[in-house]
Amino acid sequence: DAGVTQSPTHLIKTRGQQVTLRCSPKSGHDTVSWYQQALGQGPQFIFQYYEEEERQRGNFPDRFSGHQFPNYSSELNVNALLLGDSALYLCASSLVHRNEQFFGPGTRLTVL
């Protein structure tokens, strides 16, 4: 049973560019959450998707957007990249109304 998978593993972009990160949830899970983790800090909640809709959102600007597909996989898009967007981006999947979240290995984004 595959766990949560994310792609790519690493990514290097320059300021102003746009990036798309991808996440496939654990088999059977229907909810996907995205987190940003800056170096040396704890993860910060970006948003959560269920039934292809954004259900909750953290304190992130509109440059951060997402999508969930009918197969429950999800994308995170970040426009107009800033140096401060450099971080590890973590995807977590769960079952709706269940508390435990399963995390993927993350995508490390570096913005130059």
Partner 1 sequence: SQQGEEDPQALSIQEGENATMNCSYKTSINNLQWYRQNSGRGLVHLILIRSNEREKHSGRLRVTLDTSKKSSSLLITASRAADTASYFCATAASRIKAAGNKLTFGGGTRVLVKP
Query: Which chain residues interact with partner 1 by CB under 8 A?
Result: 4, 31, 33, 35, 37, 39, 41-45, 48-51, 55-56, 58-59, 88, 90, 92, 94-106, 108
Question: Closest separation between CB of residue 36 and partner 1, Å?
Answer: 11
Of 14, 4, 10, give the one whose Cα is nearest residue 34. Answer: 4
- Cβ-based nearer residue to partner 1, 19 or 90: 90
Instruction: State how far the alpha carbon of 58 is from the alpha carbons of 48, 55, 62, 66, in Å.
Output: 9, 10, 11, 13
Report the DSSP pairing between strands 107-111 and 10-13.
Answer: parallel
- Give min distance, CB of 92 to partner 1, in A: 8
Task: Map residue 85 onto helix, strand or coil.
Answer: helix
CB of 99 to partner 1, least distance (A): 5
**Nearer of residues 63 and 98 to partner 1, judged by Cβ:** 98
